[in-house]
Structure 1
């Protein structure tokens, strides 16, 4: 990706659909600014498959005079294909001569005498993402950094450069392609080259690499002057690969912020003057990454088969007499979690947002207007499953055939089935016509995620890693049927504006480092250029011209179990949809209005129907009366039950904390419609009085005060045994999740009278203080009125405060720790406790960690129990110091699991079983069976999903914890001190 200081400037690998939109965007932006010399013409880029295009900035100031000599050079003439190939041969030979094969091992290299003239090169690399590989020759290898935006002559620009593995010296002279499916697969350009030397006073390069500070001078064709590479600290230091910053220093070569970017000013090869598209088309040199260690990984090919025209590709796929080669992915699968291929995986869904997220760590995809589908391949059996798990394979056999031909044995893909219109956008109306009317519109499956591969789960890997792997899985797929849904790493706001200007559906923004979670959460955000959603059809009017069709549809959505009238639409129908929609509605005729309320004007001429049919509708906005404005019918949806249709709308920006400085909001989320627990029994309705029961406490899940009260009421039977009769600390969030919440442990006059009091002396035996405690189901449900989102009990009971009856080991993992590693750690704790004669129980924390809880008879004091837990933590740390940590220091937790034993001191608390957490999503701390550690990911259960997971309470894994009698013996205490 390349980006200028002042504008959008993003680059993407194109597919036919995206090419149309981005090619048009280039024309739109160029018409808004004076012409500039941006290098060779890119005419015809919208027809290119799997190549690259750059969208220049919308506005650029006139460049100031600069002393950079390279800026004044005239563009050199491009080399012919023959001379270009020879030039690359010469470069490869030159770089090959710079190292001693007898000394240097590939790919990481070995010691070699330092040369007087040290080489450097920058390769423009179009792999899964366009980036620039910055390489410094040192000790016989190329020390390498991947720089997404490329270098900048602007001193204020600090370009992220991720250090990657050392590359062989010979690779520095390479320009050509790396085959798909291999490491770094894509097109490689030798963008610049020359020599480098350490700056005066910074000659110890080895020390600079070790300490994270390199200062050097570049003498290249495009790059000159003083530069610095500095390794980042803080959160960046926790990344899997070291993050550095590439910075231009002050000298005669620096440029002002409004000068043209060197990457845009000189985009082509320094050796052959070719563009990326020309290099990809010629394919004169090929580098096989898998053969790097053999000494000669590249070969030259002078004759390339003629490309098949786009028209021919659409009409008939190229036949081959050879079977598709199966990809084994052996080196990758060993890093993935083994699992039996799920029959269906509940999809991850996006929250509606009003503004795109800002800052790093987000990727953006164009929103497609089609059917969300999961493709499941198991050998030769392929299923195309809707978002609710319905099998629609018979409706899209061409896509199923393309998935069947993929070079993998087992795979589960996530994507969208669409019909691509002539203007490059997707059209739901044509898609619906294909399914319902048999219209001949070709279907295309855009894949944006990979959920399972050859007996292994990929869902716990980062999104960008899953998409990189997806590129390999789609190798050789028929591009007219099965395509990768590409993404951009750029300014989300500018991308959204241009997507809307070009009549795209909108964008989907996703956290690049997120795992796949089968729920709706803030890791995926959807932004629609035009409002569009599903509505339930509750009635219709007859057309005025007497045809067998529709005058207008009467639309609604569900709220609190009632169908709310939302307005009407009378446009968007054609002859076929007039007739087919009318036929469907006639079969659902009823005499009563299904709407809770409806204006008298809307009743005139209405024909009521049973509210089971769902329509896709596009509209301009909502009116102040929450009625649709300028609505148009797009088609009937068959993949979504009517009862799931709720009003979607973007919410205002949450209030900022007064204790924090104002800053730009990252994104503005739409609250899910006020959540209901859908509890099957009337007695599960909490009989408590609430003010503002519809107040949303968590925008991500849509949790309301009423839903929270209903949950506490329903879960009380299972939760009360673990919190009743104990001092409690409550986490209250009056403004909901997001704004500051606070703990409350003391009883005050402001609390409801139903909350009981237990007098607790302080640690020094001073004056007792009134602590919160509770006993009843009604009191638990009443906590919702105070917006209590977490309940934390003591480890001892009111009648014996000084002797704990539970030992808690809290495993708090760093974000880099995998689920399998965390599971093994929990098993480790369980085994250690068993050796000491103690049975233990497991639960999630509602966050990213696990609690191992051991019930004991209350015979030992707090200090003894804390010392016992501390010795277990120290033993784990001593056995595996690279994995476990027993100290609280956050800076030392990188890549480790903090074994927290401090929950076992007087006054400390831990979140209760079945308690929600005051975090986005309102997940619950849930008891687990030990066998659940064998799953593919950390189990998550939300309050608003209670109706889904309620059935697991029939086999409560903590059922025996209250009846189990075991003592923390003197022998166990002594054994823990010497445990290894």
Structure 2
């Protein structure tokens, strides 16, 4: 019992550390909220102080510190010169180093770190002003903060400080992963203050030398989101260095200089607005309301009673105002207030105390168009693009629940509320009530994403419902082929086409397409391209990874390509080959731009929603839905993870995000093993099943004892964000256990893996799967089937968790042995590959403790990155050839998700009678 309590305590400590390390910047809608945030940090760091220490910062007879739950911070300090103070909490004080250039994620940078005197723990929560004339006089920003821990093998921190070698892990808002502080020798050892080097060590978080430094890409406060200039102007907190050793409170708060200037002018809530909500039910303002989502549809409703809006091309956000505090929350509840401060400040000026809006943050261009790439540049790269929030729904107002009002009435109240706002920052998301089909056509002409049709009488209901329907456009245009790669199999064809267009007489690289080919077009393309071979690239310039495996051709062939959008790097995303164009000369191919004369003007666009640099739209040929970007941070998002299909890290994250709703029921609340391929498919990969500090946000753990009783934390995940975040680590396969976390020793899944000899026809494998199904039915067990993403099939039977692993494994062994005895010419239960000629190996070993099988919808770490796809038994019977579903052509098979053949698995209630 004591052991279980200890394990629980460890788990709690780890969870608390992770919670602190991933805390998002707080709202800074005005000076008061920023000052309040600093107060909270000062209190938090003061609570970490060991008050048994007799003197700070010298420490006196300090107690030995602990290596668990240690705080760290980095303060950006504009004193006599700008520098960064790197501080590690240890033994009740902050061990401190002055780093002139600040931390760097490039492992080749060895940043000089001059060790200075220890600082009081409470100082780690300070952001504000140190008066000039005092030690350190200037402006202090809390640039980063979080928790730290020593690396394995380097846990004696006192020895590390003494010997000049500290190796540690950071879990901060900005700084993460492995770092080292190394004291310099030689002439540097003779300096008055010890000179160290702060170095980033190799791990998943490191960055290239040519990437934007973290000190520039994330220059503002991790707590308040303010710049160093804003902190200096506000002067809301003051630290007196002379009082540090006195034992008295060294800091005080005073009214921010911006408090009055930023306070919204007094406004009167319109009486008519209050009358509209007077009869509504009262409620406490919710903290976060899961958003209402739209179902995909081919065409908009033609009948009356619908409101049609242009589909906004930005980040969905919920704006929540509670008094002076404003929060901007993503569709999953993440606080992004600091990233959209200009919008938050406009929300703060609304003439109500409490309100919750639903809408989308976009970037509106001067010509009235919008561009998601510009929005990404603003969010991720600090580009100075103005952000606009289009509010299209009202969820709460002044203590009243507005969500049960009909949508049309909610928007009328919302319109009254937004009268007189700054429309450069905050606008009403407008609509039309007729002509949905015509609006969709115009949206596609404008190269917008599409439209959303909403039932005018509908209530606001979290989750997907038929009251909201979305119709999307995809884009098409011609491209010139400047090169190609070979396929990974040995067919006479192509792997991918390298695409371009002409600008000022130069061929500009536009990305590649590796899907859409048939056996016939493979042959035609290869023959023609071989006849156009040349020695050098025809493109003006190329990213490094585009050259890999490329065969160059004269830029004469023109092809038609369908794609989802243009990326921020001006490359086509999710492109598919449609055919060769014989009617257009290569020199005439340019990047097609939208006709902005058809669109809204800057003076008052009805709804700014489209990517301005996308290609020509085609309503008749659009797929059901282009994939939205996953809301996770990626380094090198355009890194190619599979040469044959050209999928990138961004595409993998977007795929995980899109299928999460269907994949999570089969992996959530189970231990999972991950297949990580840092260099991509077909390259060396490895399994990871244990939790470590390198895993993305949202990954949980479950403690599992091995056969020797050693308890280790295994990976488990429950959210779409955690699943999408796996792309950052190059995770190409997800393998769950056959049991859940709450009953690890009793499986609730039976898995039979049919692994055929490669010479066998697909129809024979399908017949074998049907035989497994029939045999299971005779035992009272309904089963489900899916492709493995390779050449075989998995048959899965859900069962009640009534039996232990050894019993289930023995049942499975007897089951396949019976099949082998009945037809030894067809089946084999031994793993010996030499004996598999012309047979199907019946693998039952997935049904033992610790074994896993690839999850439904999981990619496979093989060239082409195929997907393990659930099938219905009826469609399996009709398949004459092995089906192939890939991440790269997800937009072509996404329609399948509407009819998930495994959707009833969770409701099947059947027992395994042993």
Structure 1 length as normaliser, TM-score? 0.34
TM-score by length of 2: 0.37
User: Which structure is larger by alpha-carbon Rg, 1 or 2?
Assistant: 1
